[in-house]
Structure formats: structure tokens, C-alpha cells
Amino acid sequence: MKPMLRYELCKLFARPSGKAALLLLAVLVAVSTFFACHVRYTDEEGQTQYGLSAVRQLRADQKAWAGPLDEAQLRRAIQANLMCGPPPTPSPRTSSGRTWPFTGSRPLRQFGTC
């Protein structure tokens, strides 16, 4: 068994395409491992967990919420959402900090867009 494995590995490393394929495989494994472990989870208290502990907590929550979507499940989701606090109030500011040009009660056609 060992001589055959060694023979196959020598064949694989003898060609440049084999070396490139193994290098590509190693890079893909590293990238997929990074993205699998690069998870962030924020719990009800606002504490953030990262990495494998976040993955475990997220899977536990997914199992707790698994099942058919019926009226009881929707009520449970609404209650959990309400416990998080009131929804944020929308502001008339853009992401750059400027106010929107038509936040008043004037019709849009007065701004020359129609």
C-alpha cells in the first residue's frame, strides 16, 4: 500500500499542473475555513460572540426556531422581536448626513422633478 501511495504522490508532484492544483486546493480550504469561522452573533443582552462559539450559538437558535411556520410560531417571533426594544425611528437624513430635499409636506412636483 505504501509504495503505491508514494508512486501516486510522485506522479502528482512531478507535473507543474499537479502542484498548481494542490496549491489551489490549499487556498480554497483556507478561504472556506476562514469564512466558516468568521461568524458574528449578538445575543439578547447585546453581547457579541465571534468564531466557533458564535456558530454554536447560532445553530442552537436555529434548532430552537425550527419547525413549521404557523400562528404560534409567528406570535413567538413577534414577542421575541418586541422584547428587543422599540423599532428605530426613521430620520430624514441620508447616509452622508444631509437632509432629504423633500421632507416637508410640499408636493414633489414643486421641486421640478415631474
Output the pTM of the full model: 0.44
Residue 24 has a pLDDT of: 95
Q: Which residue has the cell 452573533?
A: 41
The CA–CA distances, whole Å, from 14 to 2, 7, 18, 20, 23 equal 18, 10, 7, 11, 14
Q: Report the alpha-carbon distance of residue 39 to residue 53 in Å, rounded.
A: 9
- Residue-level pLDDT, tens digit, the chain, 114 residues: 789 999 988 888 888 998 899 899 999 999 998 888 888 888 777 888 888 888 888 899 889 888 888 898 888 888 887 876 666 665 555 555 555 554 454 444 444 433
Region for 95 from its dihedrals, namely left if φ exceeds 0, alpha if ψ lies in -120 to 50, beta otherwise? alpha
Residue 110 has a pLDDT of: 44
